[in-house]
Chains A and B, each alone.
Chain A
């Protein structure tokens, strides 16, 4: 059994869901048009991940093998709906910005896969730490991507103008192709760092 510290750091570095496991790419590319959206989506997903991991781990002995998928999905969907309702009540602008991608957290690969691979086979504490690690890794990754896209494509960062008025925003970075290209560059950079360091 790995130490809790190792489990936590695993989700941020070694098995970062976006940069290493390549899971949850759908919201990654869709909502990273502004840095604040990245943070919002990341934290919402982290809450769901921690919650569902905890519940799945607590119930792991009670859920029969044959219905584990519907059971997991119901648990995950419940957490997502709670997040959605709370967000609509307290953070309406973020809620609108994330739009349909909040309900899509239900089928975010990261959450179901961690429930299946980790939470259903480990203690509740380990599952919570894994959820935190993976969730934060996800948040950091998409916020990084979103920061780049917002900076290059809009000249702002978290809504504050950073690039001077003479900067002509490269709109491609806000659009889908730009997102893919930028993600590709980040991955290439990280792979190169890994190879050299190793």
Chain B
């Protein structure tokens, strides 16, 4: 009988105190974490559309197949629409990769910004390097090839990191479609 009081009571107290500590920590780190995310977003924006203003598009109402799109931002320079930033999550080799794509109103890629991910250093993590992302600039719809890219619409995959490379390529093609859809509205 004593067990029925002691065991739940001790676990309740331990859990309660743990919960309080976590609550405090969460409160203290909420702001810095939010700032980290904001900074990452600002850097991404600068990279894709330098010196522009951004408007977050509410009410995206995209179809189910675009469920992985987190946000779409309108990019404007001096009040004129120049393009969109499509932020989405694609599954890479080791989980989700946060991707920001800059697409002009003509469906041209201005850049690829790879955000938070857990890809393997030296392999999939190389997707963040400019050697890989730089390939996308100025292209429209692209396909992935292993080895050297010859044609205009080809992207050379990272050696031994095809899955990650494919995810980025699939993402950019999806971003172009999404920006088209949004523009029509």
Contacts and interface: CB of A to CB of B under 8 A. Distances in A.
B70 interface: no
B25 A67 contact: no
A140 B22 CA distance: 29
A6 B83 CA distance: 65
A117 interface: no
A78 B20 CA distance: 10
Contacts of B123: 171, 174-175
A152 B148 CA distance: 25
B62 interface: no
A75 B15 CA distance: 8
Given A74-B14, A89-B29, A89-B33, A34 B21 contact: no
B7 to A, nearest CB: 5
Contacts of B160: 171, 175
Interface string A83-112: 001101110100011111000000000000
A66 B40 CA distance: 47
A97 B26 contact: no
Interface in B24-77: 25-26, 29, 32-33, 36, 40
Interface stretch (B104-112, B113-121, B137-145, B163-171): B113-121
A11 interface: no
A25 interface: no
Interface in B133-184: 159-160
B121 A85 contact: no
B163 to A, nearest CB: 13
Given A62-B10, A171-B159, A154 B122 contact: yes
Q: How large is the interface on A (under 10, 10 to 19, 20 to 34, 35 or more residues)?
A: 35 or more
Contacts of A64: 3, 6-7, 10
A81 interface: yes
Nearest to A89: B32
Contact of A67 (B10, B29, B40, B159): B10
Contact of B95 (A92, A100, A174): A100
Contacts of B122: 33-34, 150, 153-154, 169, 171, 174
A187 B6 CA distance: 46
A119 to B, nearest CB: 15
Contact of B25 (A85, A90, A99, A154): A85
Nearest to A146: B121
Nearest to A90: B32
Given A62-B10, A67-B10, A96-B116, 15 more contacts: A33-B121, A34-B122, A64-B7, A66-B3, A66-B7, A78-B21, A81-B25, A99-B94, A100-B95, A100-B118, A154-B122, A169-B122, A174-B120, A174-B121, A175-B160
Shortest 5 CB-CB contacts between residues of A and residues of B: A99-B118, A89-B32, A154-B122, A78-B18, A89-B29
Interface of B: 3, 6-7, 10-11, 14-15, 18, 21-22, 25-26, 29, 32-33, 36, 40, 94-95, 116-118, 120-123, 125, 159-160
6 contacts: A66-B3, A70-B11, A92-B36, A96-B117, A97-B118, A150-B122
